[in-house]
Structure 1
Amino acid sequence: MMNFVDDLREWIRTTVLPYRSPALRSMRRGPMTSPPGPNPLMIQFFTWDSLHPDMSWWKHFESEVDNLADLGFTQVWLPPPNKAMVPKGQGYDAYDLWDLGEFHQKGTTATRWGTKEELIKASASAQARGIDILIDAVLNHKIGADRTESFQAIPVDADNRLKEIGPEREIEGWTAFDFPGRSGKYSEMKWTEEHFTGLDWDHRNKEKGVFRIVGGKHQGWSKWVDKELGNYDYLLGIDIDHRHPDVQKDLFAWGAWVLQTTGATGFRLDAIKHMDRRFLLDFIKHARKVEGRQNLFAVAEYWSANVELIKPYIRAFEGLMTFFDVPLHHRFHDASKAGSHYDLRTILDRSVVKIRPGDAVTFVDNHDKLGKLLRAGLEIISSSKRMLSFYFAKKVTREYSSLFRCPHVCFTPTSRSCVFYGDLYPNKECYNEAIASKLKQLILARKKFAYGTQRDYFLEHNCIGFVREGTIQPVQGSESGGCAVVLSIGDDVEGESHVYTLRMNVGKVNGGGKYRPLLDPGSSQVETAADGWGLFTCHKGSLEVWVQA
């Protein structure tokens, strides 16, 4: 009976009750200054294969702090700073959260990214320039145990974790984490099989699969996770049981410690669909008790193209968590495949930014290998004459003459956008110098012009636009006149050039003025009527930002 009541309460809380206030309203989104600084903007400062040839990653970040501040970035999402299973592990192969590159463990003292001292120094430099730090928190699993243990487990169907495919038996698993190099500093907890729910390797029988640990005080998979594959508590490695009191105590303590140690003001939370959401909510609430973190910024990775599956999570986190807009990421992918057949007026449909803009963090690409499977949505043909998107990547094997970054999302005041390091900085994965140059132009345009009331003009099948009116009192480093943006999709036929025109109103206060094209300065200026109406253009398959002349 109690289980039924608990389930009913959770269903009401995540499905029936109204949404809380949008998360961004109560979150720190950049330096707290008076008067306020420029538009908040986040950057993910790493790719999957990031390694600097001449210095540690933390030193590289420190060397770029001034450049990032000048561009207008107010938040930097850093890679997981914890010790990984292997010396060059990215940190998602989490071994010891309490080792930030301080102890000799797993064959190294420094992490892939550098030493603890370098991280703290770089973070301090960023804060001095008005840039907040976000820590990538990998709390779902551990990998790289120090020794094996024997315990009871049941093999389950990898495609349905609720279906048992064999009897209970004793297996041997890599589940004992002693952290000998740290010797109990910061945390004395040693992890054993009692702190985990499952694993994917029986070392005794050299058998790979998904095994649910049973016996003792084990409670099975958590109920408060995504229902994909029956129950998606298990993802990889040794799955942490977030209901265990010792686990909660240690992770709550770590959250406070890592914020205080690094000076970070928030978290990016990895793989939340696989974690007990009640624990995660408590984790955020505990972190908000840290001095100066009452308005902690938190953004979650819930990887699903279906916004209906994200809605219950938005409710469950009570306005304390934002969400990467994965559905919008998929919309970009769909548009890239369809080209001129895609109706741009629908680009925001069924996205987080459409239903809950104050809970959305939009992005085009990130470090994740799964995300790279969707890179088709980000690949478009590069042109020396025009820019086809906010930023994009081109591969030799596949090319698409489409978008994206959708500037409507980038310029909108009610959501948050995250720029990807790989599209801005030289790297071997997805860099294009011409694209990076255009990206910088748009980032600076956002910093200088994207203010004031916004009006959307989603009027044409292959062409949309929007206007920001500007402000009477400009933000420091900005201009008051606002901007007009036009974006189109599709390819010009060889030998022909099609120009789209949108009639948009920049506001009566800006009427009777002239607007110049920012990205194609050779184009003619636009004169607006006294009532603010003007005809703004862009070439087919391109983007233009118009600002006051």
Structure 2
Amino acid sequence: MGNLNHGMDENTQQKQKQQQEQTDPGAAFQNGKEIILQAFNWESQKHDWWRNLDNKIPDIAKSGFTSAWLPPATHSFSPEGYLPQNLYSLNSSYGSEHVLKALLYKMKQYKVRAMADIVINHRVGTTRGHGGRYNRYDGIPLSWDERAVTSCTGGFGNRSTGDNFNGVPNIDHSQSFVRKDIIGWLKWLRTIGFQDFRFDFARGYSAGYVKEYIESARPIFSVGEYWDSCNYNHQQLHYNQDSHRQRIVNWIDATGQLSAAFDFTTKGILQEAVKGEFWRLRDPQGKPPGVMGWWPSRAVTFLDNHDTGSTQAHWPFPSNHIMEGYAYILTHPGIPSVFYDHFYDWGNSIHDQIVKLMGIRKDQGIHSRSSIRILEACQNLYSAIIDEKLCMKLGDGSWCPSGSEWILAASGHRYAVWNK
């Protein structure tokens, strides 16, 4: 948000800000105060999920989350929602259209933005077409034929502009009729109450299409899942992950800087660091080593999601170090995201510690672009000062900030936070 005229009353300022957020895709980046809740896990479709979330909205709002990422809300071949079929049907295994719309309305009342999970890289057909594959979409809205599917996954379209998601038809975004239909659908999602977008499997198609979709549908905030492997040598994580974070930064750039991206680099490094390798948390330039260290206003930091954690556990954060992880991402620059399981399923103590750290972040005015000065990064200790008004340490090395102005604000298993 640019500098507003100081002569204005607060109501006028608020109205101006709301107007800007409705017309400017990426307005949320200006503010930098976002904190996201991933409001589901891999098993959520088994638990009448929209009603479950409806009961938790007051707590989600009170805790300070600006946005809650919901699972894919449209009809899908798989119950989790990641093999969509009829994109215009809002009856899914998470609940009915009626209950979803009530949830979206309640979120709006509580000023928590609903983030839609946008699965547009792949889509399962309704009937068999060319080659006997399910690559036709007959009898449903967005009834495409095989031209909508890339030639590399069994359709009549062009080759993919990204990596293939194997086993199902991949959508050919280079076709103008496909983009027109997707834009129509994204705009429709905005009208029913989704305000933010999360782009699934963003490696699967050119980031230039993401730019076009954001410019057309105008979500307030967007984040892409650009996930590829960190740099390892015989399962040993390299200290230098610059090429990994560069690929994520290149993707953000190619969206016209309109989308943030999940900071998989920070996750990979942080989950090794907390095991007694805190030297990993300072890059050769003295900065944080993830996307957060290069482009914090576009880096969505997180510990786990429905793929890496939950019952899939493809790349889980070490469970006995969860609070050290949150003490890091909730005090540092970037846009932190909290995982549902940690917040609601791991007991009241973890929930309350996360809420306390979120409160400190808010009270101290820490935001995505806050400055950071790393003081220590050795084997068993990491410490840093953020915006010169918050100080924190991780690990079992004994340390506290020098100067009587620092007051302990929060502490727990192997972490402590001070403010002035």
RMSD: 2.9
Match of 2:302 in 1: 363
How far apart are residue 343 of structure 1 and its match?
Answer: 4.3
The aligned runs of 1:452-463 (5 Å cut-off) are: 454-461=371-378, 462-463=381-382
AA aligned to 1:449 is Q
Match of 1:303 in 2: 227
Residue 394 of structure 2, aligned match among 465, 488, 498: 488
Maintained 8 Å contact 2:153/2:170? no
The aligned runs of 1:536-547 (5 Å cut-off) are: 542-547=414-419
- TM-score when scaled to structure 2? 0.80
The aligned runs of 1:61-460 (5 Å cut-off) are: 61-86=53-78, 89-101=79-91, 111-143=92-124, 145-149=125-129, 151=130, 171-179=131-139, 187=141, 189-198=142-151, 211-213=153-155, 218-219=157-158, 221-222=159-160, 224-225=161-162, 232-261=163-192, 263-288=193-218, 293=219, 296-304=220-228, 305=230, 306-337=244-275, 339-340=276-277, 342-346=279-283, 349-369=288-308, 372-375=313-316, 378-381=317-320, 389-390=322-323, 403-407=324-328, 409-412=329-332, 415-426=334-345, 431-451=346-366, 454-460=371-377
Maintained 8 Å contact 2:376/2:383? yes
Match of 1:4 in 2: none
How far apart are residue 258 of structure 1 and its match?
Answer: 0.9
Maintained 8 Å contact 1:235/1:274? no
The change in CA–CA distance for 1:141 and 1:257 in structure 2 (over 3 A counts) is same
- Structure 2: 5+ residue stretches without partners: 1-23, 231-243
Q: Distance in 2 between matches of 1:363 and 1:40?
A: 13
Match of 2:14 in 1: none
Residue identity over aligned pairs, in percent, reads 22
Q: Comparing both structures, which one devotes a greater share of its residues to helix?
A: 2
Matched residue SS, 1:419: strand
How far apart are residue 300 of structure 1 and its match?
Answer: 0.3
Q: Distance in 2 between matches of 1:544 and 1:341?
A: 15
Q: Distance in 2 between matches of 1:58 and 1:258?
A: 16
The change in CA–CA distance for 1:69 and 1:122 in structure 2 (over 3 A counts) is same
The change in CA–CA distance for 1:120 and 1:438 in structure 2 (over 3 A counts) is same
The change in CA–CA distance for 1:148 and 1:379 in structure 2 (over 3 A counts) is same
How far apart are residue 136 of structure 1 and its match?
Answer: 0.5
How far apart are residue 244 of structure 1 and its match?
Answer: 1.9
Matched residue SS, 1:373: coil
Match of 1:397 in 2: none
The change in CA–CA distance for 1:265 and 1:546 in structure 2 (over 3 A counts) is same
Maintained 8 Å contact 1:353/1:360? yes
- Structure 1: 5+ residue stretches without partners: 1-24, 102-110, 152-170, 181-186, 199-209, 226-231, 382-387, 391-402, 470-481, 491-497, 505-511, 521-540
- TM-score when scaled to structure 1? 0.62
Match of 1:27 in 2: 26
Q: Distance in 2 between matches of 1:245 and 1:465?
A: 49
The change in CA–CA distance for 1:211 and 1:146 in structure 2 (over 3 A counts) is closer
Q: Distance in 2 between matches of 1:489 and 1:411?
A: 15
How far apart are residue 450 of structure 1 and its match?
Answer: 4.2
Q: Distance in 1 between matches of 2:136 and 2:39?
A: 33
Q: Comparing both structures, which one devotes a greater share of its residues to strand?
A: 1
Residue 35 of structure 2, aligned match among 10, 30, 41: 41
